[in-house]
Amino acid sequence: MRCFTFLSICIVHIFIITSCVKPTEPPDSSFNEEGLIAYYPFNGTVKDESGNTNHGILRGAVFTEDRFGNLNKAIYFDGINDYIDIGNQESLKTDLPFTIAAWINLSERAYFPPIFLNNYTENFYYGIIFNVVEDNYLCINICNGDSLGPTSRKTKRGITSLRFFEWYHVAAVVKSAQNMELFINGKIEPGLYSGSGGDLNYNTDSGVLGVSDGSIHDGKLYYYGKMDEIRFYNRALTDEEIDLLFKHL
């Protein structure tokens, strides 16, 4: 009888304590829709889920498992000739500021693997180039439309070497040629500026995922590995919003 009474008291106390604890609420994700130009979740398609119909066209890339092991929930590029054409709609050719975010998983062998370009033109630097450069450093570039070279771009490069076969959330927030921020897994990445360009100019060529033009001598450069959850905004996300993308979206 005493054991039963003691057990009953414990149950009552546990009920009172758990009733007073406020359940954890999911963070407000409404910020994710503000200024969203293009969103590619790669859930078995290359459709833009932002509502702006910047839909992609597969050029060899295939669907694969995402960072959670779910099949056909990410995209895979073979590093040889795979890419995705995302078209030439006006909404893609945004002015400053802007934000790009993505999940990436690099495989070996890629040379300067490109992630996102909203204006791809061979032998010229136009628009925005978000890529990984030598030694697997994250990099963001804004380009003025001149021929390939440092005078045609303003660049910020990170200092952390990304490891192969590991998922990373990467982002770039650009407010001006002198105010460019890189993020890895929700945290600001220190970096170095280079290039003497500063303007952001476009032509009528399409945007692409997974291919760029490194130089006249190197020719086309292709991404080798996986990508997922690519987001492109026409505004500067805050540090807190980038962290929410990494942790919750």
Domains, the chain, ranges and CATH?
A: 34-248 (2.60.120.200)
The whole-model pTM stands at 0.88
Torsion of CA 57, 112, 127, 235, to 10 degrees: 90
pLDDT tens for each residue of the chain, 249 residues long: 444 444 444 443 434 333 334 344 556 778 889 999 999 999 999 999 999 999 999 999 999 999 999 999 999 999 999 999 999 999 999 999 999 999 999 998 888 999 999 999 999 999 999 999 999 999 999 999 999 899 999 999 999 999 999 999 999 999 999 999 999 999 999 999 999 999 999 999 999 999 998 765 567 999 999 999 999 999 999 999 999 999 998
Q: CB within 8 A of 96, min separation 6: which ones?
A: 142, 174, 175, 176, 200
Q: Are 101 and 169 in contact (CB under 8 A)?
A: yes
